[in-house]
Structure 1
Amino acid sequence: MSTLDDTRWDLVSRRQPADFLYAVTTMGIYCRPGCPSPRPKRQNVTYFLSCAQAEAEGFRACKRCDPKGERRAIAQEVVRDACAFIEAEETIPSLESLARRSGYSRFHFLRLFREHTGLTPRSYAEGVRARRLHASLVSGARVADAVAEAGYGSESRVYEDTGKLLGMTPGALRRGGVGETIRTALADCPFGRLLVGATETGVCFLGFAEPDDALLGDLRRRFPKATIVADDAALTGTVEAIIDFIEEPKAALSLPLDLRGTAFQLRVWEALRQIPPGETRTYADLARMIGNPAAIRAVARSCATNPVSLAVPCHRVIGSDGDLTGYRWGVPRKRTLLARERALATAAE
């Protein structure tokens, strides 16, 4: 029969995360079970439940796995400062200047920044610039003015990378849906009020669990210059399909969609649609699915901006520790959806 120490040693030997610490008597240090340091000999290992216990016995914290979180806290502050500096600058700061500001070498700073943001400093700065451009265009600024204010050297640079930056041309974004008609339908569903918005191409907005005015306000912010008309009759089939899915999510919610976002967002949303009902993925899994394993935070932001919940099932993404994390329409509803999907998937086996 295996003992508690056997279980703990198995986790240490496989470098698995766990809620205890181990100390190496021959080294005088204590570590997290997932520490990347060479595995010690079992006879030299003892276990503790807290840093205070380990230190009371004379052990010091490992510098590699940082069991007290001190080095990580310092690194997080360095990265937060760098991000704030990038946000405040009109042009993209050089890696040299950012590293010099942090007090670390270029290599060390770059590693820290990528580890904590999933991006290089330049990629982060490009994202800041793209958000500035997006905000200016949505507010109605002339394309030339928006390009200059965002820090781009010329309009040609923006038009060359328009798909990557905006997911559409600057002019189309500036128009904010002008000339388009979005048909809407409001209905009651198991999660409260439901709003569906659709263009000629397909569903462009799907929201629920808020008052009608809040849902319509969200849609108008996304398409500030579109003509929005109520047309319950035209969307009857769509609304029925959504309500059926909420009540019994046994298959993917298949609807014609009109998704608008950056190229990165579209990749994330497409990956979300590949997760089968009854299954979940972590943000790290999703980042790997799109071929960019370091972009975990950017993936999370894309999930949060998903305009068509349920059809693009962001509720199937969870934290690395299994926590349901945040959900635009409330964690209890996320829990309910996942429980229903799992029950139906199990029953079908």
Structure 2
Amino acid sequence: MNQMTRLEPAPSPMPDDDACWAAFLARDRAMDGRFVGCVATTGIYCKPSCAARHPKRENMTFLPDPVAARAAGYRACLRCHPDEIGRDRLAVAAAIAFIEATEEPLRLEALADHVGYAPHHFHRLFRRETGLTPAAYARGLRAERLKDALGQAGSVTAAIYEAGYNAPSRAYADAEKHLGMSLSAWKDGGRGVTIRWRTIDSSLGPVLVAATGKGLCRISFGEGEADLRVRFPHADFRPADTALDAMAQRVAALVENPAAGADLPVDVQGTAFQQAIWAALRAIPPGETRSYGDIAAAIGRPQAVRAAGTACGGNNLAVLIPCHRVLRSDGSAGGYAWGLDRKQALLAREKRK
């Protein structure tokens, strides 16, 4: 619990009144902690995701935080507990720091005790804020350490223990899940892994669609086989089969109508942090946008705005994981790996639906 006193959330600018009202109407959990809504007729203040019935717009005033609301004479809502959002996010941030600093697997009870919460309550809180359970976050982190160790250690066995695994069996299971291939295949540039690929035309240019036997591993604009070979120089590349052709057609349809969404199997590599960011991206409703700060806050890491931007840039599945829905805090487009013109076109298509 001593780490809790050293962690402070990074301040985020308060949205304008129209954006605040829209967040309340949507009960947008990602905006919790950015401001509170004060209701003149009841004298209470709430967080944006409050499940209570919405008051009339003319009865609401928006203030930056609970301190300002109490100073104005309002009291906290007993349904949504707006004062707790800061404490909850500090607890998740402290837990993440504890996990990252500890090589040995942590029991839920020890982690919850470290941040001062009951285990079952903290388990729900951590998953709500990050999209992952504490155990899943820790496994993803170990898998990322394993990936780094495989590139440096002299053998697979040495890499396993260097990454903090107590036994090879868990390492091999994590490798299949998080790296998309066996340990030896990852260490040797994808040797032994079959990747099928093809390009397909779209109104935004050629789209590369590639998949392992588990699912899509790359969707990108303007790339081809040479780009895949740079990523996996020793993989076995083969032309598309019937299954990949079908997936490619659905990807092409998604480019034309990104608001439609698509339930397609995926096989992407990423750290626990990246996985949480990508899950938050897929949770953004079509036609809506979020800032990089919103995405960082949504996974319980409000300080990690720049890292959230980097994770968006590391997205391997264009359109399917909709990183085009993320803008800068000032509303400008920001970056996009496949060109701002495509980003703006995708956003415009979603708004028309």
State TM-score, norm by structure 2. 0.54
2:212 aligned with 1:222:
no
Deviation at 1:181, TM superposition (A): 10
SS at structure 2 position matched to 1:30? strand
What is the alpha-carbon distance in structure 2 between the residues aligned to residue 78 and residue 305 of structure 1?
27
* Contact 1:163 1:262 (C-alpha < 8 Å) held by counterparts: no
Once residues 222 and 164 of structure 1 are traced to their aligned partners in structure 2, the CA distance between those partners, rounded to angstroms, is: 18
Match of 1:109 in 2: 122
2:44 aligned residue = 29
Query: In structure 1, which of residues 162, 165, 176 is the aligned counterpart of residue 189 of structure 2?
Result: 176
**Structure 1 gap ranges (5+):** 1-10, 229-240, 273-280, 287-295
5 Å-filtered alignment, 1:203-214, equals: 205=218, 207-208=220-221
CA contact (8 A) 2:211 2:218 kept: no
Q: 1:258 to 1:227 in 2, by over 3 A?
A: farther
TM-fit CA distance, 1:58: 2.1
User: 3-state SS of the aligned residue for 1:261?
Assistant: coil
1:336 Cα offset (Å): 0.8
Report the alpha carbon displacement of residue 116 of structure 1 after superposing the two structures with TM: 1.2
Deviations 1:30-71 (A, max 9, x none): 33465246x69x89x95334368854652223365355xx53
Give 1:167 shift: 2.4
> Percent identity of the aligned residues?
37
AA aligned to 2:143 is A
Greater relative contact order, per chain length (Cα 8 Å cut-off, separation 6+): 2
Give the equivalent residue in structure 1 for 2:240: none
Change (3 A) 1:185 1:93: closer
Task: Summarize the alignment of residues 230-245 of structure 1 with structure 2, pairs less than 5 Å apart.
Answer: none
**3-state secondary structure, aligned to 1:48:** strand
Q: Matched residues in 1 for 2:182 and 2:173: separation?
A: 10
Instruction: Please say if 1:335 is aligned against 2:344.
Output: yes
Q: Which amino acid aligns with 2:342?
A: R
Match 2:112 to one of 99, 105, 109 = 99
User: How big is each residue's C-alpha offset from its partner over 1:113-136, in whole Å with a ceiling of 9 and x where there is no partner?
Assistant: 222112221121111111112232
> Which residue identity is paired with 1:110?
H
Distance (Å, rounded) in 2 between the aligned partners of 1:203 and 1:226: 15
**Letter aligned with residue 31 of structure 1:** C
Code of the aligned partner of 1:61? A
Contact 1:133–1:146 (8 Å) recurs in 2: yes
* Alignment equivalent of 1:129, drawn from 142, 152, 156: 142
**Deviation at residue 176 of structure 1 after TM alignment:** 1.0
Tell me, what secondary structure is at the counterpart of 2:169?
helix
Q: 1:148 to 1:72 in 2, by over 3 A?
A: same
Distance 1:185 1:220 in 2: 13
**1:234 alignment partner in structure 2:** none
Aligned-residue CA RMSD in angstroms?
5.8
SS in 1 for 2:144: helix
Contact preservation (8 Å) 2:140, 2:271: no
Note closer, same or farther for the CA distance 1:190–1:204 as it changes in structure 2 (3 Å cut).
Answer: same
CA distance in 2, matches of 1:182, 1:96: 42
Match of 1:72 in 2: 85
Offset of residue 86 of structure 1: 0.8
Q: CA deviation at 1:195?
A: 9.1
Number of the residue aligned with 1:60? 75
> Alpha-carbon deviation of 1:144?
0.9
The corresponding residue for 1:142 is 155
Q: Tell me, in whole angstroms, the C-alpha distance in 1 between the residues paired with 2:59 and 2:148.
A: 56
Q: Which amino acid aligns with 1:136?
A: A
Q: 1:113, 1:121 within 8 Å by CA — same for their partners in 2?
A: yes
Relative to structure 1, is the Cα distance of residues 95 and 342 closer, same or farther in structure 2, using a 3 angstrom cutoff? Answer: closer
CA shift for structure 1 position 173: 1.5
Equivalent-residue separation in structure 2 for 1:285 and 1:150 (angstroms) = 37
Q: Which residue of 2 aligns with 1:261?
A: 268
CA apart distance, 1:142: 1.8
CA contact (8 A) 2:112 2:122 kept: yes
Q: Any gaps of 5 or more consecutive residues in structure 2?
A: 1-22, 238-248, 287-297, 301-307
Instruction: Name the counterpart of 1:283.
Output: 283
Residue type of the partner of 1:314?
I
Distance 1:141 1:84, change over 3 A: farther
Aligned AA (1:111)? R
1:314 is paired with a residue of what secondary structure?
A: coil
Q: Is the 8 A contact 2:27 2:51 kept in 1?
A: no
Normalising by structure 1, we get a TM-score of 0.55
Find the aligned partners of 1:203 and 1:75 in 2 and give their Cα distance: 35
Alignment length, in residue pairs? 282
Contact kept, 8 Å, 2:207 with 2:222, in 1: the verdict is: no
User: 1:164·1:263 contact (CA, 8 Å) conserved in 2?
Assistant: no
In the aligned structure 2, how far is the partner of 1:50 from the partner of 1:76? 19
